[in-house]
Amino acid sequence: MNPYQTNVFINAQAHPPPDYGATQQALLNRAAFAAVEAEVTRLPGYQPTPLIALNGLAAASGVEGLWCKHEGYRFEVGSFKPTGPVYAMLSVLKGEVKKATGAETVTTQDLINRTYESVTNELVVSAATSGNHGRALAWGARMFGCRCVIYMNDGVSAGREEAIAAYGAEVVRVSGNYDRAVQRSYADAEMLGYFSISDEKSAEYPHISREIMQGYAMVADEVVRQFSDVQPPTHVLVPGGGGRLAAATCGHLWERYERTHPRVVVVEPTASACLYQSAISNSAATVSREGRSVMDGLVVESASPQAWDILKAGAFAFLAIPDDAAVDAMRQAAAGVGGDPPIVIGETGIAAWAGFLATNRDENLRQQLELDCASRVVIIATEGATDPEVYRNLVGGTEPRGFKTPG
């Protein structure tokens, strides 16, 4: 098979891996993660998402081991997003309840039990989304008893809007691309007093963006625990986007494994690759607003500066891949290879798998990423089929055995 048109940047700053430094510690550290773990693991329905062995694809690809960390099983939301935005939302709700009531301590269980419902009913959390971020916020808002307003650009599918509205959130459609929806959400939050759970800093809650990233480290920590009795992975492939999940993955593995941490490979669509461009320019970059990709949740204009502070020194490589690699990877996952179980992964969640597929079709790329017969690779799949209609249109035919729509 012909190689895909794939762009790669090998990060010289991560060769050899430096120590986990003060800049990174200020954003992600074990003490901060302990607070995340205490909250996320106590949310109703928490359980680690599965690490699925892909022995057939590993053998066909010439690597020692291959696993898919599948975030489609995260709570009932079907993506990794509840670990971050919902965790960040908690600090806002607790802070507002304390101000309104004078209570010294407000617990997550208090919010779940609606102990302060008279306060939370008047609070509004908001964000722009292409699907999963908004769905996670809407789920959390319903659980904690606050209002939720979600902004979506007009290119997002009706199915994703319906999934968010089903949790009781209000959905506002915005003409144009994703970044237009972001700007509208920020403007409305300032004018209407909403609490934006996003990268935007506020005077009252300046740490929301950092808390989202800290929450995402839950995914990497589960990987560490799932490998506790065996050799750790040599490579972890993770989707890019604005970079917060990639940075949380890179930072947590870097801190836990120190200089022997796995090679973290960040994967983005060619049409919108702000992290790949950041690596080229050695600074957090902004790309064209006009990018379009089947991996719609990764179409982000600007890299998160906080995320870049971790990735610039810790990520091994950055890949930019075409859409046909993503669609082929979805179909490969659904079919299974060499007796592997069929796996349902959505069009945004497939990016890391697509990066692995693209690497296996290009011997030069394999060598650059140092993939060989001793490699032990983890693919982070960030969602299930969170829009079943889009999934069916891309994969074709009926759903594979075991298909379950999240929620």
Same domain, 215 and 186: no
List the structure tokens of 75: 């709570």
- Residue 361: Cβ-neighbour burial (10 angstroms; 0-12, 13-18, 19+): middle
Contact 76, 45 (CB under 8 A): yes
The SS3 call for residue 171 is: strand
Structural contact between residues 129 and 139, judged by C-beta atoms closer than 8 angstroms? no
Amino acid of residue 309: D
DSSP secondary structure letter of residue 265? E
- 407 domain residue, yes or no: no
Residue 400 lies inside a defined structural domain of this protein? no
Residue 402 has pLDDT above 80, yes or no: no
Residue 328 CB-half CA count within 13 A: 16
The answer to whether the beta carbons of residues 169 and 149 sit under 8 Å apart is yes
Which residue segment(s) compose the domain that 106 sits in? 82-206
| 21-40 pLDDT, tens digit each | 999 999 999 999 999 999 99
Report the greatest alpha carbon distance in the chain: 66
- Domain count for the chain, please give it: 2
Per-residue pLDDT reduced to its tens digit, 139-182: 999 999 999 999 998 888 888 899 999 999 999 999 988 888 98
Q: What is the pLDDT of residues 249-272, one digit of tens each?
A: 999 999 999 999 999 999 999 999
Residue 30 included in any domain: yes
Please state, in angstroms and as integers, the Cα–Cα distance from residue 383 to each residue in 76, 142, 344, 349, following that order: 11, 21, 9, 5
User: Does one domain contain both 304 and 162?
Assistant: no
Is position 95 within any domain?
Answer: yes
Among 169, 186, 206, residue at a domain's last position: 206
Listed in sequence order, the residues at least 6 apart from 139 whose beta carbon sits closer than 8 Å to its beta carbon are: 75, 76, 77, 82, 86, 167
Residue 12 CA neighbour count, 13 Å, CB half = 3
> What integer pLDDT is reported at residue 397 of this predicted model?
63
The answer to whether 89 touches 125, Cβ cutoff 8 Å, is yes
| 260 located within any domain | yes
Are 290 and 262 part of one and the same domain?
A: yes
CATH of residue 64's domain is 3.40.50.1100
Question: Rounded distance, CA 29 to CA 397, Å?
Answer: 45
* Same domain assignment for residues 115 and 260: no
Position 385 pLDDT exceeds 50:
yes
For residue 190, being part of any structural domain is answered with yes
Element (DSSP H or E) covering residue 26? none
Co-location of 224 and 309 in the same domain? yes
**Does any domain span residue 12?**
yes
- Residue 106, SS3 per DSSP: coil
The residue behind tokens 């506002």 is: 172
Contact criterion met (CB below 8 Å) for 266 and 238: yes
pTM for this predicted structure:
0.94
- Kindly state the DSSP code that residue 84 receives in the 8-state scheme: T
Q: Given 206, 232, 267, which residue is the final one in a domain?
A: 206
Summarised one tens digit per residue, pLDDT across range 331-375 is: 999 999 999 999 999 999 999 999 999 999 999 999 999 999 999
Distance (Å, whole) CA 203 – CA 231? 45
Cβ-proximal residues to 126 (8 Å cutoff; 6+ apart), any chain: 137, 148, 149, 150, 151, 185, 188, 189, 194, 195, 196, 197
